[in-house]
Amino acid sequence: MTVRGKAPAKLNLTLSVSPGGGGYHEIDSFVCSIDIADAVVVSSRRDDNVNIVMHGLGSESIEYEDNNAVKAALLFQKTFDTRGVDITVYKNIPMGAGLGGSSADAASVLKCMQKLYKSGTDDEVKALADSLGSDTGYMTAGGFARITGRGEKVERLDIRKRTLDFLLLLPKKGVCTRDAYRLSDLYEKAPDKTQEAIQAVMDGDLEALGACMYNDLTRAAVYLNPDVGLAKEQLESFAPLGVCMTGSGSAVAALFENDMFCEWAKSRYRGKYSCVRTKTIPGKPAEQEE
Q: Which of 6, 10, 71, 232 is catalytic?
A: 10
- Compute how many other C-beta atoms are within 10 angstroms of the C-beta atom of residue 46: 7
Q: Which of 105, 130, 135, 216 is catalytic?
A: 135
- Please return the burial class of 130, using the count of CB atoms within 10 Å of its CB with bins 0-12, 13-18 and 19+: buried
Q: Assess contact for 126 and 37: CB atoms under 8 A.
A: no
- Which residues, 6+ apart, have CB-to-CB distance to 32 below 8 Å? 10, 11, 13, 143, 144, 145, 164, 280
State which amino acid sits at residue 115. K
Active site residue 81: no
Active site residue 216: no
Task: Show which residues are catalytic.
Answer: 10, 135
